[in-house]
Amino acid sequence: MTDFIRKITPNSKDDVLAGITVSLAMIPEVVAFAFVAQIDPLVALSGAFIIGLITAIFGGRPGLISGAAGAVAVIFVHLISEGHTKGMLFDQPIENMGYFYLLAAVILMGIIQILAGVFKLGRFVRLIPHPVMLGFVNGLAIVIFMAQVRMFSHKQLNITAEGVKEYINIPMQGAELWTMIGLVALTMGIIWLLPKVTTKLPAALTAILVTTGVAVLGGLDVSTVGSYIVEGGGNGLKGEFPTPNLELWQNLPFNLDTLKFILPYAFLAASVGLIESLMTMNLVDELTETRGNGNRECIAQGAGNMVSGLFGGTGGCGMIGQTVININAGGRGRLSGIMMAVTLLTFILFTDKYIEQVPIAALVGVMFMMVIETFAWSSFRIIRKIPVADAVVLVIVSAVTVIYDLAIAVFVGVIISALAFAWENAKRIRARKRFSEDGKTKTYEIWGPLFFGSITAFNEKFDVKNDPEEVVIDFVESRVSDHSALEAIFNLVQKYEAEGKRIQLKHLSEDCKVLLYKSSPKFKEVIVEDVDDPRYHLAENPENFPKPLSEYKFF
């Protein structure tokens, strides 16, 4: 315990102040994300507390802040809606069934993330190209923006002819609409202007307080957090310590149908959560010039989501905005994340009535500013300067994020980038041909990577029927990369031998030799072992140097 305390408190003063600052900035965004997912804000706040605390203590990246993030929230919107509908179709209809499906999906999401950490899949985040990351954040910003536009309406309960309850959106009109726009503009203006005046006050929280004060003191008839919850069928915020949700086990049907329903959402949420968390971890690594443990972070994120689901909270992941606020405020250790979670719990327990009075317009303004800050505006400037393949990936990832979801968008982006990379490298295979002085031996000097994409071009370089009796293939500037390359070489050897010609393979690297020897004993006969890499002959012979060898520097 003493060692643990020593590890989390090397920068205690800055960590405490940074944690408090982050918690203040966390509340409006978490509540706003709750509306994106159409869940009770207390569910999101509870999830943010639990996930934030567990990842702060056990995560692989001190200083990283986790909570109920919008990237995960948007995935569960459809699950909750469909879950409500399924609950009404039971023999004994269950109200708010979408919420119980959400908790089950969050628990399963956590299990998937723990498995990802156990099997050390965290390292694969390094395979995500930069255009994919740009498309990712652009798509996320658009999705959040579209969710906020829907807030310019009222939810109204509607009962269909089949007796199914559903909520429909009625757009705002007239004075109510203009009041909403004015308060949103006021919130955005404060967030934009305040940092230019002073950085000692958290801009988002100050904007929330000012806008709330204007609405309350001015007696404006506007939608608030409390009224929005009531419109959605809730009973308002009730501050209480998170406890295990026993209703989950009583109402949720544990069968294959439930697993088939929640598994796709849980997998997508787990993937998006890990991608965003690991991307945030890499950002902290760059800002602090230290290195985090990606696999440990995966396990901590999974444990946080599992406990959150069991205690009635929503899912979450690393939050880029809050993490940057924490680092800029001096937070470097685990104590900053712990302090954020504890302060957030204090707000949950004692300020629920005040949060209910916050106008929806204030939260929408905060989210609009976050959209502006999240969107990679530089992508418009660089899109004509980067390779066409990268530009296409950026646009496709953004579009898929909006149309489908973030996880599919990242997978699609990585696949397209990999195929584009393979295509470009496939065109780089070269063969320089020369004959010996007596004309009896022909040498092919291969340049470029030999893999599945380049084997067609590789095979086209050889003239098996017209080549002389002795053929040498020199791999000094090439590497054998995969099974397709092994098969191509093996088939080539067989073709030459079928013509009664002798073939030799020279200057293969040690790892390439191992691959070839494992694939077929035939290569023992054609690979020349006792040939040095010709690139070193120059350095071996001092007579080749125009000045004394001691005057040269070798790297």
447 in Cβ contact with 431 (< 8 Å)? yes
For residue 554, the tally of other CB atoms under 10 A from its CB is: 5
Helix (H) and strand (E) counts in the chain: 24, 8
Structure tokens at 373: 């800050």
For residue 200, the tally of other CB atoms under 10 A from its CB is: 7
pLDDT of residue 94: 79
Give, in order, the Cα–Cα distances in Å from 92 to each of 83, 88, 99, 175.
15, 8, 17, 43
- Bridge partners of 157, per DSSP, are 167
Give, in order, the Cα–Cα distances in Å from 543 to each of 532, 538, 539, 540, 546.
19, 9, 9, 9, 8
User: What sign does the CA torsion over 530, 534, 540, 542 have?
Assistant: positive
DSSP 364-424: HHHHHHHHHHHS-THHHHHTTTS-HHHHHHHHHHHHHHHHS-HHHHHHHHHHHHHHHHHHH
Rounded to an integer, what distance in angstroms lies between the CA atom of residue 48 and that of residue 57?
A: 14
pLDDT of residue 536: 43
- For the range 459-468, what are the long-range contacts, defined as Cβ-Cβ under 8 Å and sequence gap of 24 or more? 459/488, 459/492, 461/429, 461/431, 461/433, 462/431, 462/492, 464/492, 464/495, 464/496, 464/499, 464/501, 465/499, 467/442, 467/496, 467/501, 468/435, 468/439, 468/440, 468/441, 468/442, 468/501
Question: Which of 411, 409, 417 has its CA nearest to residue 139?
Answer: 409
Question: Which of 83, 529, 64, 41 has its CA nearest to residue 340?
Answer: 64
Determine whether 372 is exposed, middle or buried from the number of CB atoms within 10 Å of its CB (0-12, 13-18, 19+): middle
Q: Is 46 helix (H, G, I), strand (E, B) or coil?
A: helix
**Per-residue confidence in pLDDT tens, the chain, 555 aa:** 455 455 555 668 788 888 887 887 677 667 767 776 777 777 888 889 999 999 999 999 998 999 987 778 878 888 888 888 888 777 777 777 888 899 999 999 999 999 999 998 877 776 778 888 788 778 878 877 887 887 888 766 666 666 655 667 788 888 889 999 999 999 999 989 998 998 777 777 788 889 999 999 998 888 887 776 666 555 555 667 777 877 777 788 888 999 999 999 999 889 888 888 887 887 788 777 788 888 999 999 999 999 999 998 889 998 877 887 788 778 888 999 999 999 888 877 887 777 778 888 888 888 788 788 778 888 888 888 888 989 999 999 999 888 876 667 878 898 999 898 888 888 888 899 999 888 889 999 999 899 989 999 999 999 999 999 999 999 988 888 888 999 999 999 999 999 999 999 998 888 888 888 888 888 888 888 765 555 544 444 444 444 444 454 443
Is the domain spanning 430-532 CATH 3.30.750.24? The answer is: yes
Rounded to an integer, what distance in angstroms lies between the CA atom of residue 389 and that of residue 131?
A: 9
What residue spans define the domains of the chain?
A: 10-384, 430-532
Pairing of strands 470-480, 502-506: parallel
pLDDT of residue 237: 59
Question: Which of 462, 86, 44, 441 has its CA nearest to residue 252?
Answer: 86
Element containing residue 432 per DSSP (H, E): strand 430-435
Rounded to an integer, what distance in angstroms lies between the CA atom of residue 509 and that of residue 498?
A: 27
Non-local CB neighbours of 276 within 8 Å, separated by 6+ positions: 69, 71, 317, 318, 320, 406
Q: pTM of the prediction? A: 0.71
The Cβ-side half-sphere exposure at 21, using a 13 Å CA radius, reads 23
3-state SS record for 153-188? EEEEEEECCCCCEEEEEEECCHHHHHHHHHHHHHHH
Rounded to an integer, what distance in angstroms lies between the CA atom of residue 295 and that of residue 4?
A: 20
pLDDT of residue 231: 61
For residue 373, the tally of other CB atoms under 10 A from its CB is: 13
What one-letter code names the amino acid at 510?
E
Structure tokens at 14: 């800055």
Which residues of 46-125 form beta strands (DSSP E)? 66-67
